Chains A and B, each alone.
Chain A
Amino acid sequence: MNLVAAIAERNAAELPGKRDEDWRWTDLRGLVREAPAPSAPFAGDLPAGRFDALADARKVLVNGGEAVIEIPKGASAVLALRLVGRGPGSHVASAAIRVGANARLTLLETYERDGGTLADATLTIAVAEGAAVERIVLAEDHEDAVSISQAEVTLSPAARFAQTVLASGARRQRLETRVLHPGGKAELRLDGLYLLGDKRHSDQTTVVTHAGAEGLTVQLTKGVVRDQARGVFQGRIVVEEGADRTDAKMGHHGLILSDRAEIDAKPELEIYADDVACAHGNTVGALDDEALFYARQRGIPEDEARALLTEAFVGEVVDRIDHEGAREVVRAWVADRLRA
């Protein structure tokens, strides 16, 4: 049974748990003993969304619902999509997004779920030939939410898809992206950043399947955890038979700033073609003592030196965002988190 069905049928026993290989570090079954009642319909007012000012179209899904979004051939749009959970309860939202040939879309997506929610969102994003999509996901759920997002992205040859997922965690939070990559000079960038404190948990999972020759994938995820927070990264790159000349690179780098925080990572390569260049790098550790020493020696107080180094560490991910307005919103959001 999948997650959507488990939530819809309020069947807590069928929720994925640590015995499922893909969910080993994001145990829902062990956490949710009883599925909450369905979320009540919401009629009140919502505060303005973080990206509202940048968008020329807006869509809000509160406590479930469906959206179908079509960007016609050759068109260009900036869309703000908000997935909101108000009050406790469980729900599933879904969105189907089709981007026509040579169209351009900037998708600015936010997750804002209250404490006591158990929510999933399923998105399908189809990108036609020559189209370019930049997806920026900002997940700022309540610390007691159980918040899941599952996106299936299908690319056509010569399409471009760039994504940056930013997460501040929740009781359990998982942002999952699966991409079907046809090769054919299509380009994919999948970036992520998690900044976690208290007892928050966040899981960024990606699966990229290269099904055709000449595909390009670059991936960079970074994370900072402190207090008793737990960051999870799972990235899998599959190169199918015949997907020759695939060039895929994955990087995950985590920073643990307290003794009781945890980072779990699993960067996987699954390769069935021989003419490929695939690599991943993964590091987990504390701030570099020598860099700290250097900064302090130059008269920068220790706290400030730490903040500076941490900012520099995460800055790389933020800098890679193409959309200027969104990049600045994200930069401010990140700075707020790091100072908190």
Chain B
Amino acid sequence: MAAVKQTVEHVAALEKYQHGFVTEIEQDFAPKGLNADIVRFISAKKDEPEWMLQWRLEAFERWQAMEEPAWAKVSFPRIDYQDSYYYAAPKTKEGPKSLDEVDPDLLETYKKLGIPLKEQEVLAGVEGAPRYAVDAVFDSVSVVTTFKKELAQAGVIFCSMSEAIREHPELVRKYLGSVVPVSDNYFACLNSAVFSDGSFVYVPPGVRCPMELSTYFRINAENSGQFERTLIIADKGAYVSYLEGCTAPMRDENQLHAAVVELFALDDAEIKYSTVQNWYPGDPETGKGGIYNFVTKRADCRGDRSKVSWTQVETGSAITWKYPSCVLRGNESSGEFYSIAITNGRQQADTGTKMIHLGANTRSRIISKGISAGKSSNTYRGLVSAHPKAKGARNFTQCDSLLIGKQCAAHTVPYIEARNGQAKFEHEATTTRLSEDQLFYVMQRGLSQEEAVQLLVNGFVKDVLQELPMEFAVEAQKLVAISLEGSVG
């Protein structure tokens, strides 16, 4: 009967965006607007050293001289950067020392979102069940990080960015901003000036991180933006798998989420980075509200034989504009990008990847599945380039788009730049709608139209889903179904 119950719950869940609630909690805000004083305010709130403040101020100065880019295939009214809060944090007494001190309202929020913050709850499952440590970021601050002790025993540092700046300044200074330079792009530059929190991971040489690490981002406060910064370093021969999830309340205003994620893989290291992005997508009819998800994610495969794998399931956000990329610097390093991007209602997505081959015998693989439904627009944009020194570089790209409905759009814009005679690039793309024959076949076997579409869509995205860690894959599969609800008929 479990299956029936699950189906009932599943159908009930289809009704609407489930994470749209607001948590009533007392919060600390920075004054509205953006200027050098706000940057100082954020830095002071976090008790940052002087070098960090200078770094931020410099970024802010550069940002003021930059112009907002407009090349993506997305349209939105101009963002008023002065009409937003750049810092919002739940009020705490001293900063919680343990979980028991965390505001129960916050714990309740995460419980509602299905994120286990209590270590014993995580452990309460069946023996051998996969465990994962969570860094929970609520608006501008990290509220709690679990399993720190156990991770520390393995030598793994997993903490909030603010803590890392205080406790491990040498690592932060060495790596921060070195793969996404401060002035890399408009939103990354803004982030460098006002970033509030995020996760920091360091896995020492030869260590295989004993559990999955994850961050859960939650936007709660009204009129605020979230600017988190994530930095993951896998030292020689290390391995880490990292998951990222995000949700936000339903609101009529647009909120900006401009994060920067930097990954570093040294010799023989491997990082697996998975994202399930489910920000509030806005009202499907009017297109009002929703998150602008303008994120810069880049990995530096610095070491020889290093490997970075990006997997993303993008179902939320009013606008998604991001390209998780790999700079393949080390010889024989490899990069992978697996993506499912689903747009429905009036969502817009312009997403893809960049694989920059610099080292010899570097390899990359891109599998992108885009699904557009409703009145949405979904663009794959990707770059594969080989430097003259990248002898023997190899890339395979496949991007398929599926259209459901008469008013949606799907675009494929791949760039290929091959600058040497020993690189081999292959790219394939298709755009089609669901096959009538397949639909007919499945419905003839007794499935409703909605179920039939779900089944076929799941088949379409299977290649990517199987790259996700198991517990995420199940969630992602459901999310795919929910996102497409109402798109048929």
Q: Which residues of A are interface residues toward B (Cβ below 8 A)?
A: 21, 241, 254, 256-286
Contact = CB atoms under 8 A, between A and B. Distances in A.
A264 B414 contact: no
Quick one: which of B401, B417, B420, B421 has the most chain A CB within 10 A?
A: B421
Say what secondary structure dominates the interface of chain A: strand
Contacts of B423: 256, 284-285
Interface string B370-411: 000000000000000000100100000000010111111111
A258 B421 contact: yes
Contacts of A241: 406-407
A276 B418 contact: no
B438 interface: no
A278 B432 contact: yes
A114 B422 CA distance: 34
A254 B421 contact: no
A274 B404 contact: yes
A267 B426 CA distance: 12
B433 interface: yes
**A-B residue pairs, 6 tightest by C-beta:** A285-B424, A274-B403, A282-B427, A256-B421, A269-B412, A274-B433
B98 interface: no
Given A21-B71, A258-B421, A274-B404, A266 B430 contact: no
B430 A267 contact: no
Nearest to B420: A259
Interface string B424-453: 111111111100000000000000000000
A262 B419 contact: yes
Given A269-B412, A279-B431, A281-B428, 18 more contacts: A241-B406, A258-B421, A261-B421, A262-B418, A264-B418, A265-B415, A266-B415, A271-B403, A272-B408, A275-B433, A276-B433, A278-B431, A278-B432, A281-B426, A282-B416, A283-B427, A284-B418, A285-B426
A272 B433 contact: no
Contacts of A262: 417-420
Given A260-B388, A261-B421, A284-B424, A270 B430 contact: no
B248 to A, nearest CB: 29
22 contacts: A241-B407, A256-B418, A260-B388, A260-B421, A261-B421, A264-B416, A264-B418, A266-B413, A269-B410, A269-B412, A271-B403, A271-B410, A272-B408, A272-B409, A274-B406, A277-B432, A278-B430, A279-B428, A280-B429, A282-B428, A285-B418, A285-B425
B431 A269 contact: yes
A284 B432 CA distance: 25
A302 to B, nearest CB: 15
A261 B418 CA distance: 8
A289 to B, nearest CB: 10
Contacts of B412: 267-269, 280
Interface of B: 71, 388, 391, 401, 403-433
Say what secondary structure dominates the interface of chain B: strand
B416 A284 contact: yes
Given A241-B406, A267-B427, A286 B432 contact: no
Contacts of A21: 71
A283 B425 contact: yes
Nearest to A254: B418
B375 to A, nearest CB: 11
A265 B409 CA distance: 23
A271 B425 contact: no
A257 B410 CA distance: 35
Contacts of A278: 430-432
A283 B398 CA distance: 12
Contacts of B405: 274
B328 to A, nearest CB: 17
Given A241-B407, A256-B423, A263 B418 contact: yes
Contacts of A285: 418, 423-426
A282 B397 CA distance: 9
Nearest to B380: A269
A19 B46 CA distance: 40
Contacts of B403: 271, 273-274, 276
Contacts of A280: 412, 427-429
A268 B406 contact: no
B424 A274 contact: no
B154 to A, nearest CB: 43
B422 A267 contact: no
B420 A260 contact: yes
Contacts of A257: 421
Contacts of B406: 241, 273-274
Quick one: which of B388, B401, B407, B429 has the most chain A CB within 10 A?
A: B429
Nearest to B384: A284
A269 B408 contact: no
A17 to B, nearest CB: 15
Contact of A259 (B414, B417, B421, B424): B421
Contacts of A275: 433
A32 to B, nearest CB: 23
Contacts of A281: 426-429
B416 A266 contact: yes
A21 B409 CA distance: 21
Nearest to A246: B431
Given A266-B414, A283-B425, A271 B419 contact: no
Contacts of B419: 262
Nearest to A238: B411
A268 B413 contact: yes
Quick one: which of A264, A269, A283 has the most chain B CB within 10 A?
A: A269
Contact of A265 (B388, B408, B416, B428): B416
A268 B399 CA distance: 12
Nearest to A278: B431
A276 B431 CA distance: 7
A276 B372 CA distance: 14
Nearest to B386: A284
Contacts of B424: 283-286
Contacts of B429: 267, 269, 279-281
B431 A271 contact: yes
A284 B420 contact: no
Contact of B411 (A261, A266, A271, A277): A271
Contacts of A273: 403, 406
Contacts of B391: 259
Contacts of A270: 409, 411
Nearest to B373: A274
Contact of A276 (B388, B413, B432): B432
Contacts of B401: 269, 271
A240 to B, nearest CB: 10
Nearest to B381: A268
A260 B420 CA distance: 6
